[in-house]
Amino acid sequence: MTRRHYDLPSLNALAAFEAVARNLNVTRAATELNVTPGAVSKQIRQLEAELGRQLMQRHSTGISLTSEGEEVAASLHEAFGRVSATLRHVRASGERAHVSIISTMATMQLWLMPRLGSFWGAHPEIVVEHVISDRLHDVPRPDIDLRIRYGDGHWPGEEARLIQSDRVVAVASPAFLARHPIADPEALAAAPLLSVEGADWVWMTWGSFLRAAGVPFHRLNVRRFNSYVIALQAARDGQGVSLGWMSSVAPLIARGELQKVTQTEIDDPNAFYVTWNDRRTLSAEATILRDWLLAQGY
């Protein structure tokens, strides 16, 4: 048998394993690779047989990686990321420099886009490619240069720099407050509240806001959304009171579209960061955008 130059298993099998390890789901990996789930499972069985090691454990509730599987997955993620970056560089040869950045819809619409004109004016030679996802932890994309993330600043495999901390306030439209005067924080507990929540939500909720403000409550009148942008639109339409992060609602308050309901402001225990793959050196253009993002904080 002819020996493979790099002594590697089938590249199809490695790609199948990397996709399943990243998604922890055979069906999603198969959709990404445009093959059947059965074909993906067969590739992984063949890879495990060739290596003589179990890489994954199958459970009734899903998939987990063995220690050997985690080691192989990390190596493949790094290698594929480098190949992806090289190919993007080759494709872009002779073109204007590109930098890709991913963020949530709320961050993109309410924070980044109002500021980005100054970057374009200062760096017209750099093309910024925008990717929007409200589930950033599900998108470990090796082709993305930078992310704007919200949290505690600790994400495995990512370097993180603080852009800014934030403060949380209660906001509503002037028309709503004319119909529902709220004199103090205690009155908030009885008001129609617009809450943004999700399965993986790390943002402050009404319960944590009211507890931090020292407001007693038993049952809240809450209408739930899974989008901060939509919750703020509902608040502007007079449908209730929303929590607002000052980094994003300050312009809406300045324009009179929203008002602070009370003067209570709660320091957010989380913050906004710019992050990137800690195993990959940023390009000169990505470094310029990163440093510009850091300068936008207050």
The answer to whether residue 249 is domain-embedded is yes
Residue 199 confidence (pLDDT)? 46
Question: Domain check: are 249 and 278 in the same one?
Answer: no
Per-residue pLDDT of 12-66, as tens digits, reads 888 888 888 888 888 888 888 888 988 888 998 998 888 888 988 888 777 888 8
Question: Domain check: are 123 and 252 in the same one?
Answer: no
Residue 155: φ, ψ to 5°:
-135, 125
Among 45, 70, 89, residue at a domain's last position: 89
The answer to whether residue 44 is domain-embedded is yes
Question: Domain check: are 147 and 283 in the same one?
Answer: yes
Nearest to 174 by CA among 260, 101, 90: 260
The answer to whether residue 1 is domain-embedded is no
Among 65, 89, 113, residue at a domain's last position: 89
Going from the C-alpha of 252 to that of each of 25, 171, 236, the distances in angstroms are: 41, 10, 9
Among 40, 65, 89, residue at a domain's last position: 89
Map residue 278 onto helix, strand or coil: coil
Question: Domain check: are 276 and 161 in the same one?
Answer: yes
Instruction: Give the Cα separation of 149 and 172 in Å (integer).
Output: 26
Count CA atoms within 13 Å of residue 244 on its CB side. Answer: 31
The answer to whether residue 218 is domain-embedded is yes
Q: Which helix (H) or strand (E) holds 106?
A: helix 105-106
Per-residue pLDDT of 242-284, as tens digits, reads 999 999 999 999 999 999 999 999 999 999 999 998 888 888 9
The answer to whether residue 76 is domain-embedded is yes
Map residue 273 onto helix, strand or coil: strand
The answer to whether residue 49 is domain-embedded is yes
For 280-294, what is the mean pLDDT?
A: 92
Share of the chain above pLDDT 90, in %: 32
Of 132-136, 156-160, 180-184, 264-268, minimum mean pLDDT range? 132-136
CATH number at residue 34: 1.10.10.10
The answer to whether residue 2 is domain-embedded is no
Per the prediction, the chain carries an average pLDDT of 86
Q: Quote the domain boundaries for residue 207.
A: 167-267
Local confidence band at 192 (pLDDT 50, 70, 90 cut-offs) = very high
Instruction: Give the Cα separation of 235 and 259 in Å (integer).
Output: 10
Instruction: Give the Cα separation of 230 and 197 in Å (integer).
Output: 12
Residue 290 confidence (pLDDT)? 95
Question: Domain check: are 150 and 173 in the same one?
Answer: no
Instruction: Give the Cα separation of 194 and 234 in Å (integer).
Output: 8
Question: Domain check: are 199 and 260 in the same one?
Answer: yes
Q: Give the total number of structural domains in the chain.
A: 3
Question: Domain check: are 145 and 178 in the same one?
Answer: no
Quick one: 136 exposed, middle or buried, by C-beta within 10 A (0-12, 13-18, 19+)? buried
Count CA atoms within 13 Å of residue 82 on its CB side. Answer: 9
Question: Domain check: are 233 and 172 in the same one?
Answer: yes
Kindly tell me if the per-residue pLDDT of 4 is higher than 70. no
Question: Domain check: are 110 and 25 in the same one?
Answer: no
Question: Domain check: are 285 and 201 in the same one?
Answer: no
Residue 1 confidence (pLDDT)? 44
Map residue 51 onto helix, strand or coil: helix
CATH number at residue 190: 3.40.190.10
Residue 25: φ, ψ to 5°:
-160, 120
DSSP 112: I
